[in-house]
Chain A
Amino acid sequence: EPEVTQTPSHQVTQMGQEVILRCVPISNHLYFYWYRQILGQKVEFLVSFYNNEISEKSEIFDDQFSVERPDGSNFTLKIRSTKLEDSAMYFCASRPTSGPADTQYFGPGTRLTVL
């Protein structure tokens, strides 16, 4: 069964550094998402992406964040200058079609630790 994959599984960085989190969505999916989960808290929506542009973003997704689909398979989340409060598990998700009922399938996550 196809799965969303994410790399790396764990990233440790110094405050102020740039990080890029990578995701490979399921191959025939058209909609892509990033969510995050701060330790012990609920999963929060960051951004959705369709047709090579952001379709919605949350208040969390400020100018420090950006997303890109650099090729036909990868979907990346860049944090330009990391802060301590960016430490969280970041989940990528994808879904196949324009049907709003379609399920979002999540990757295993990248744990980001900012020191």
Chain B
Amino acid sequence: AQSVAQPEDQVNVAEGNPLTVKCTYSVSGNPYLFWYVQYPNRGLQFLLKYITGDNLVKGSYGFEAEFNKSQTSFHLKKPSALVSDSALYFCAVRDMGSNFGNEKLTFGTGTRLTIIP
């Protein structure tokens, strides 16, 4: 079974400071990893994904994430936070080795990021 843990329900960061939103995962094989963002009363917007290759992946709105296989982590980062980054962030995983038909993404519980002006 695959699972995702987001250990922090809430992260507060001052505007202009670097931010990190943590995610760890568990899969039986190799993972596909995703970050999505949810703004109030909106759907899930794709930010970035790790498939293979470079452990540091870059995505939308200046976000990046670092895949660490030994620590089974995929933390989301941004060098300088904006007030507009305030939202709910979800990490998700899919088992790369899963059979056809096992299509699902497994999501973490989400981390509410608040950027303080």
Q: Which A residues lie at the B interface, using CB under 8 A?
A: 4, 6, 31, 33, 35, 41-45, 48, 50, 55-56, 58, 91, 93, 98, 100-101, 103-109
Contacts and interface: CB of A to CB of B under 8 A. Distances in A.
Given A55-B101, A55-B103, A103-B34, 16 more contacts: A6-B43, A31-B103, A33-B104, A42-B108, A43-B105, A44-B107, A45-B104, A55-B100, A56-B103, A91-B44, A103-B49, A104-B46, A106-B36, A106-B43, A106-B44, A108-B43
Contacts, number: 61
- Chain B's interface size range is 20 to 34
The 9 closest A-B pairs by CB, nearest first: A45-B104, A48-B103, A108-B43, A106-B44, A55-B101, A43-B107, A101-B51, A42-B109, A106-B43
Contacts of A42: 90, 107-110
Interface of B: 32, 34, 36, 42-46, 49, 51, 90, 92, 94, 96, 98, 100-110
B38 to A, nearest CB: 9
A43 B4 CA distance: 12
B42 A56 contact: no
A49 to B, nearest CB: 9
Nearest to A31: B103
B104 A48 contact: yes
Contacts of B94: 100
A61 to B, nearest CB: 11
22 contacts: A31-B103, A41-B109, A42-B107, A42-B110, A43-B92, A43-B107, A45-B104, A48-B101, A48-B104, A55-B103, A56-B101, A56-B104, A93-B44, A98-B100, A100-B96, A101-B51, A103-B46, A104-B46, A106-B36, A107-B43, A108-B42, A108-B43
